[in-house]
Amino acid sequence: MRCVKFPRRHFLHLAAGAVALPTVSRIAMAETYPAHPVSVIVGLAAGTSPDIIARLLVHWLAERLGQPFIVENRPGAGTNIATETVVRAPPNGYSLLFVTTSNAISATLYDSPKFNFIRDIAPVASIGGIPFVMQVNPSFPAKTVPEFIAYAKANPGKINMASAGNGTANHVYGELFKAMAGVDLVHVPYRGNPIPDLISGHVQVYFSAIPSSIGYIRTGQLRALAVTTATRSELLPDVPTVGEFVPGYEASAWQGVGAPKNTPAEIIDKLNKEINAGLADPKLKASIAALGAVPLSMTPVGFGKFIADETEKWAKVVKFAGIKLE
């Protein structure tokens, strides 16, 4: 067999081209992405605040990128069903996860998930946070957080704290308050909305998203003691933060977008750029703000650090409070 010899310069040129091929193909993929419809998997039911925000976002992305972005609701198992769906999807940018606080909580709450949330989901972009409010029945004796803490310490185990279920955001936010304020509250989990029982006085305190409570607060059916965010909410500007009385307390729901690990960085960067442009657009920004959310842009790296910090934070609360699934 005759051996064909290539000049060394020719060989080096071919070798360099071979090394460059993956980079070139990734860039080409990003330039043409998306070439067909993209699924955005939401781990909560249709009609919830995250679902509505996701639908606003996909409408923006579809208009900007020229392909349908379709919301698919896969509720259940604390968003783990939706997460596993995306973890198992090809890492090509066509299956995205609508990431929420529930993902960070479920990472510890569930003993043996079939994935590692931090390892298997690549952060794409932050969308923003939804402030929660600590609220009581108007007949409750305390009118401020310090009065609430004093009353709770004088009556340990006699105040019922409602939640939408074990391990939900309003549960862990309440448990964080209990730990930091040093009070003993009785957790009462509901499978549905506990607000009717809060209004009737069957339970005394509830940490809930402002959008779901603000109507009752404005009509005087509920009394807002404090918001859970680090700064006051524009929706309730006269209501203090919990942190003004319990230093260091902060809790808020947040949303963002993730993708399967190994999704090309060029696609992630493209999506991040478009989502951040949406958060800066006055119309989309106003629509998100109307739902009580505070838009917050981040780089993929910044969002990844934020997710890791939140996962670690709520892991400590889940373990300290001994929270178990129902």
Q: Classify strands 95-100 and 252-260 as parallel, antiparallel or unpaired.
A: antiparallel
Would you call 277 helix, strand, or coil by DSSP?
helix
- On whether the CB atoms of residues 98 and 83 are closer than 8 A, the answer is no
Do 150 and 231 lie in one domain? The reply is yes
Kindly tell me if the per-residue pLDDT of 267 is higher than 70: yes
Kindly tell me if the per-residue pLDDT of 28 is higher than 80: no
Return mean pLDDT, the chain.
90
Closest of 49, 175, 176, 37 to residue 100, by C-alpha: 49
Q: Could you tell me if residue 326 is inside a domain?
A: no
Average pLDDT over every residue of 148-171: 95
- On whether the CB atoms of residues 306 and 126 are closer than 8 A, the answer is yes
pLDDT at residue 319, as a whole number: 94
Average pLDDT over every residue of 233-252: 95
Final residue belonging to a domain, choices 198, 223, 244: 244
List, for residues 165-185, the tens digit of each pLDDT value.
Answer: 899 999 999 999 999 999 999
Do 115 and 138 lie in one domain? The reply is no
Residue 224 forms beta bridges with which residues?
135
Final residue belonging to a domain, choices 213, 244, 275: 244
- On whether the CB atoms of residues 132 and 208 are closer than 8 A, the answer is yes
pLDDT at residue 14, as a whole number: 44
Kindly tell me if the per-residue pLDDT of 16 is higher than 60: no
Average pLDDT over every residue of 133-150: 96
Q: Could you tell me if residue 314 is inside a domain?
A: yes
Q: Give the structural domain span for 84.
A: 36-130+252-321
Do 138 and 230 lie in one domain? The reply is yes
Do 169 and 236 lie in one domain? The reply is yes
DSSP 74-140: ---GGGHHHHHHHHTS-SSSSEEEEEEHHHHHHHHHSSS-SS-HHHHEEEEEEEEEEEEEEEE-TTS
Cut 0.75: pTM above it? yes
Q: Which residues contact residue 14 at a Cβ distance below 8 angstroms, ignoring those fewer than 6 apart?
A: 6
- Find the CATH number of the domain harbouring 231: 3.40.190.10
Closest of 40, 108, 34, 66 to residue 259, by C-alpha: 40
pLDDT band at 194 (very low <50, low <70, confident <90, very high): very high
Do 221 and 276 lie in one domain? The reply is no
Final residue belonging to a domain, choices 216, 244, 272: 244
List, for residues 38-65, the tens digit of each pLDDT value.
Answer: 999 999 888 888 899 999 999 999 999 9
pLDDT at residue 47, as a whole number: 82
Please give the share of the chain, as a percent, with pLDDT higher than 90.
Answer: 75
Kindly tell me if the per-residue pLDDT of 11 is higher than 50: no
Kindly tell me if the per-residue pLDDT of 122 is higher than 90: yes
Do 135 and 115 lie in one domain? The reply is no
Q: Could you tell me if residue 8 is inside a domain?
A: no
Q: Could you tell me if residue 180 is inside a domain?
A: yes
Q: Give the Cα separation of 20 and 104 in Å (integer).
A: 37
Domain count, the chain: 2
Q: Give the Cα separation of 101 and 286 in Å (integer).
A: 22
Q: Classify strands 223-227 and 121-136 as parallel, antiparallel or unpaired.
A: antiparallel
